[in-house]
Structure 1
Amino acid sequence: MTTRRASLAWLGTGWALAGAATAQRPPLRIALAPFLSPAALLAVFRPLREHLEHALQRPVEMVTSRDFHSLVGEARRGEHDVVQLPAHLARLAMLDWRYQMLAGPDERVEVVVGVRGAGPVRSIGDLRGQRVGMLDALSLTATVGRAWLQAQGLDGAVTVVAQPSVNAALYALERGEIGAFVAADTQLATLPASTPRGERVLVRIGGIPGPLFLARHDLPAAEREDLRAALLAFQPDPARPRAASNAPLRPVPAASMAALDAYVVVARQLLAQGAR
């Protein structure tokens, strides 16, 4: 298994407050989409985890994976009670592996191309010959980014470099290892304070749904409905930036999910190729 676990002690700090009866219930296991480094990801989702523990009166264990390809494999094998997936992979999981929709952020996010603020890339044409960092190919931001590069006639003129996280991409940009990166604006809003922030948005290239929470098909119906209700009751912190970890959560309409089918085709092709 490729899942990255946080330490049980860190995840369990809130359990004792719920009492011995609650602690006897098995943890609800939620796998998060790996768009930030593991420590940063678990930190920004901590308020949601604590909310769920309180609402459900049971421990909640949040984990993540080394990349989206690994997360999809774990989802297909049913290793987690709940998975958070980019919207196109959520659609795939619902169609192919019988996952059930729970909820996702109620706002669309923007995919952006970022460059160094004082760097040489001042226009789209300046991307020629550059190395462009993205999350692995199965992520929705990378799918949108690659399609945009192709539409601009740049797919053969740049080198796409897979990044393990968005914060890793910002470090790579600072060191000059890449000349540009593709990410969601809400991902940039949740970066750790220590992340280099000398970037500038070159262009916004499209709106996408945020990542969605799905329940494994064999999760008991009553448990699934309690979990959905708890997710819908989450209140974001107005002092924190809006992001997947800090937004009202709502079920996504079927028509919005069906609109992702072209990206599902790309994901199936990548999975068949074993691409990362």
Structure 2
Amino acid sequence: MRIPRMLLILSFASLVQVAKASEPRPFELGVVPYLPTTKLVMAYQPLRGHLENELKRPVVLSTAPDFVTFLERCLRKEYDAIVLGPGLGRFVQIEAGYQPLAVTSRNIKAIIIVERHAPYTRLKDLSGKRVAMLDPMIVLSQLGRETFRQSGMQPDRDYRIRIVKTPSNAAHAVLQGEVEAGVTTANLVPQLAEDMKHRLRVLAESREIPGLMFMLQPTPALRIDQARDILMRFEKTEAGRQFIDAMVMDGLRMPSEREIKSLDVFLPEFRKHFKR
């Protein structure tokens, strides 16, 4: 008896679908867009590979076009794990249930940068000037504005804010003459091209807060303690050490409960933006 060819094709297609259905869903690691996308994806490949080996399932890297879109995706729990700034991390811990695994040993601080040969010697010299910074709700921007306030300066009244999408955009805006100053992160500077470093200088610095935060949306299949062990083992591998050196993280550590709660000061801006 001859089996119709179409029936064979349908049967084969069904087998393929069953095989695909049995494959584990890719684990998605979301990284906040603090670097250009291509550079970000390349930089985090060692961590992606380590997670894939440890979890025994495909791991994909994701980001977003800007901080706000990334945060919206976190609030919808679209990522299995995330890497983001500490203020954002505290917000999604409360609002979406992500839990801290580790923070970088190197803390975060905002720096106000200007062109190397610009005449400014103090923040007051930027009166009436344009300053590039992230969306006002982002912690880096909040730290920058706090630093200006300590010099008696208020946005709109004493300086004009130009919103940019990433910390690296702030540096580029200064070099391209679009603004007189930019607020960015001190951790970005070592990752800039050498010619960019030589064309910029730091005019002022903010206080420090805990570093980049690694977080997990825990599930019965992957608990917090399991994920933390996997992450900490990465730091001890050759690839992990190279990654941490390249990203200027100075290592990984457990944040204290006190450190986490100290970030609550940044929550009002997030809640105002997202009406929560």
Shorter chain as denominator, the TM-score bin is 0.7 to 0.9
Counterpart of 2:123? 124
Identity %: 26
Distance in structure 2 (CA, Å) of the matches to 1:224 and 1:195:
42
Report how far residue 39 of structure 1 moved.
1.1
1:165 and 2:169 correspond? no
Report how far residue 194 of structure 1 moved.
7.7
Counterpart of 1:135? 134
Distance in structure 2 (CA, Å) of the matches to 1:78 and 1:163:
25
Counterpart of 2:201? 200
1:222 to 1:205, Cα distance in 2 relative to 1, 3 A: closer
Report how far residue 112 of structure 1 moved.
1.1
Distance in structure 1 (CA, Å) of the matches to 2:247 and 2:210:
11
Counterpart of 2:50? 51
Structure 2: which 5+ runs fail to align?
1-21
Distance in structure 2 (CA, Å) of the matches to 1:146 and 1:272:
22
Counterpart of 2:233? 233
The one-letter code of the counterpart of 2:137 is L
Report how far residue 255 of structure 1 moved.
0.7
Maintained 8 Å contact 1:90/1:214: yes
1:200 to 1:87, Cα distance in 2 relative to 1, 3 A: same
Task: Write out per-residue CA displacement over residues 32-75 of structure 1, whole angstroms, 9 at most, x where no aligned residue.
Answer: 11111111211222222222223333222111112221111111
Report how far residue 240 of structure 1 moved.
6.9
The one-letter code of the counterpart of 1:180 is A
Counterpart of 1:189? 190
Maintained 8 Å contact 1:56/1:226: no
Report how far residue 110 of structure 1 moved.
2.7
Counterpart of 2:92? 93
User: Secondary structure, in 3 states, of the residue corresponding to 1:196?
Assistant: helix
1:28 to 1:142, Cα distance in 2 relative to 1, 3 A: same
Larger of the two Rg values belongs to structure: 2
Maintained 8 Å contact 1:67/1:136: no
1:164 to 1:107, Cα distance in 2 relative to 1, 3 A: same
User: Secondary structure, in 3 states, of the residue corresponding to 2:61?
Assistant: strand
Counterpart of 2:215? 214
Maintained 8 Å contact 2:143/2:207: yes
1:64 and 2:68 correspond? no
Structure 1: which 5+ runs fail to align?
1-22
Distance in structure 1 (CA, Å) of the matches to 2:200 and 2:212:
24
Counterpart of 1:267? 270
Distance in structure 1 (CA, Å) of the matches to 2:153 and 2:246:
32
User: Secondary structure, in 3 states, of the residue corresponding to 2:275?
Assistant: helix
Counterpart of 2:6? none
Distance in structure 2 (CA, Å) of the matches to 1:249 and 1:270:
31
User: Secondary structure, in 3 states, of the residue corresponding to 2:91?
Assistant: helix
Report how far residue 182 of structure 1 moved.
1.2
User: Secondary structure, in 3 states, of the residue corresponding to 2:158?
Assistant: coil
> Which of 250, 253, 260 is the equivalent residue of 1:257?
260
Counterpart of 2:28? 29
Maintained 8 Å contact 1:167/1:195: no
Distance in structure 1 (CA, Å) of the matches to 2:166 and 2:47:
21
Maintained 8 Å contact 1:88/1:260: yes
Distance in structure 1 (CA, Å) of the matches to 2:191 and 2:48:
16
Distance in structure 1 (CA, Å) of the matches to 2:128 and 2:97:
43
Distance in structure 1 (CA, Å) of the matches to 2:146 and 2:195:
28
The one-letter code of the counterpart of 1:210 is G
Larger deviation, residues 175-184 vs 133-142: 133-142
Larger deviation, residues 153-162 vs 252-261: 153-162
Matched length: 250
1:242 to 1:109, Cα distance in 2 relative to 1, 3 A: farther
Distance in structure 1 (CA, Å) of the matches to 2:246 and 2:206:
19
How large is the Cα RMSD of the aligned pairs?
2.6
Maintained 8 Å contact 1:30/1:80: yes
Report how far residue 221 of structure 1 moved.
5.2
Distance in structure 2 (CA, Å) of the matches to 1:131 and 1:95:
35
